[in-house]
Structure formats: C-alpha cells, structure tokens
Chains A and B, each alone.
Chain A
Amino acid sequence: EIVLTQSPGTLSLSPGERATLSCRASQSVSSSYLAWYQQKPGQAPRLLIYGASSRATGIPDRFSGSGSGTDFTLTISRLEPEDFAVYYCQQTWYTFGQGTKLEIK
C-alpha cells in the first residue's frame, strides 16, 4: 500500500506570497496518476492538477504542479485570498495524502 505524506501540515502565508506544498510517496508512483485537490470549508474538493503537472479546466495559471517518482510539489505563485484552503494530493483513486492547510498569516 502506497502512503502519501504531505508537508507541512499547516502553512501560514500572506496574500501575494508564493506557496510550496509537498507530497511524498512511500514508493515510486506514476506521474500520470498524481493529482492535487483544493477543499474549502463546507465544500467538496475541487480538482486542480492531474498527471502531476496538468491544470484542470478553469484552474488559474498561478497553480502549477511538478515532480516525479516519490516527490511531488504544488506551487501557487502568488497567493490570492481565495486560495487559502486545504490541499490534498492523491495517487490513483486509492490514496489521498492527509492534507496541507494553507492559512492566512
């Protein structure tokens, strides 16, 4: 069973800053099957990135994904107020990371 570990657990930043979120897999995974989701309080998750680096439809280009093997990164280049949320990585459909909470500093 592949385990996804996200870090940090909580990230405190200000609007306009750059956010870097990490997702590490317990063994190598296919980049094709690595996705990122955003979840705001009281809402369902929303697909941001699939295939490790492809933005989903309608996702602003300030969101980018990268990585391969066991280490993957979600980067938000300049934080907007609406970006403060919880972010999850996922490997295939089976496994989610525990989430990173991005909060306003």
Chain B
Amino acid sequence: QVQLQESGPGLVKPSETLSLTCAVSGYSISSGYYWGWIRQPPGKGLEWIGSIYHSGSTYYNPSLKSRVTISVDTSKNQFSLKLSSVTAADTAVYYCAGGRWLYSIDYWGQGTLVTVSS
C-alpha cells in the first residue's frame, strides 16, 4: 500500500522559503510513478505546483516556476518542495502526491497546512 507523508514547518515568514518533504512508503520512488505537489488555499480549489520523475526531470506550473524547486532523493525514498519569496497568498494546505504522469494522481498525502505570516 502506497503511503505519502508530508513534513515541514507549518509557519513561514513572508519573503522566506517554504520547504516541505514527502516521505513515500510501500513503493520505491524509482519504480516508475511521477511525484509532485498540489496546494489548496483555505476554502478554495486545487492548484498543481510541479512534478518530478526519479531521474530528476521536473515540470513546473508556469505561474510558480520562477519560485519553485522540486527535488528527489531516491536513497531516502522521498522528494521535496522549495518555494521561495513566499507571501500570504502562498498560505495553503500542501499535498504531496504520486501517480501516472498526465493520466491521474493515484496517491495523496494527508496534506499539511502552511501559513505565511510574520
């Protein structure tokens, strides 16, 4: 059974960098799925942030591309998100996820609320 678990600070100051990690269990990251991050501001809809393959190939939402870095650590079976220069508009529940690229997001973490505030 594939499980994903996000970890990282729940509070980030404006202009700083948001950093989250997603630990994957029950499946090897190197086995073939794509992995990524989706966020959801309170009371709003879902927004794809970006995705990565175990080879390191990345795809980013154009609206966030200049501020986003997604990386993978196959030795630890985890992947990470960095979002720089955050503002209050980046306050959201951040989900890590995995699935078949372009087809479907099959697996989701439980989500972690990140609040941007001084």
Contact = CB atoms under 8 A, between A and B. Distances in A.
Given A44-B95, A44-B110, A44-B111, A95 B48 contact: yes
A47 B95 CA distance: 14
Nearest to B101: A93
Interface of A: 32-33, 35, 37, 43-47, 50-51, 56, 88, 90, 92-99
Given A44-B109, A50-B100, A96-B48, 14 more contacts: A33-B102, A37-B46, A44-B95, A44-B110, A45-B95, A45-B108, A51-B103, A56-B104, A90-B104, A93-B48, A93-B51, A94-B48, A96-B47, A98-B45
Given A93-B36, A94-B61, A47 B105 contact: yes
Interface string B87-115: 00000000100011111111011110000
B46 A88 contact: yes
B64 to A, nearest CB: 12
14 contacts: A32-B103, A33-B102, A37-B105, A44-B111, A45-B46, A46-B108, A50-B100, A50-B103, A50-B104, A88-B46, A93-B105, A94-B48, A96-B46, A99-B46
Interface of B: 34, 36, 45-48, 51, 59, 61, 95, 99-106, 108-111
- Which secondary structure dominates where chain B touches chain A? strand
Contact of A47 (B34, B45, B46, B104): B104
- Chain A to chain B: the 7 pairs with minimum beta-carbon distance, closest first: A50-B104, A44-B108, A92-B102, A96-B46, A35-B104, A98-B45, A33-B102
A73 B91 CA distance: 32
Contacts of A92: 102
Contacts of B109: 44
Contacts of B106: 47, 56
A46 to B, nearest CB: 7
Contacts of B108: 44-46
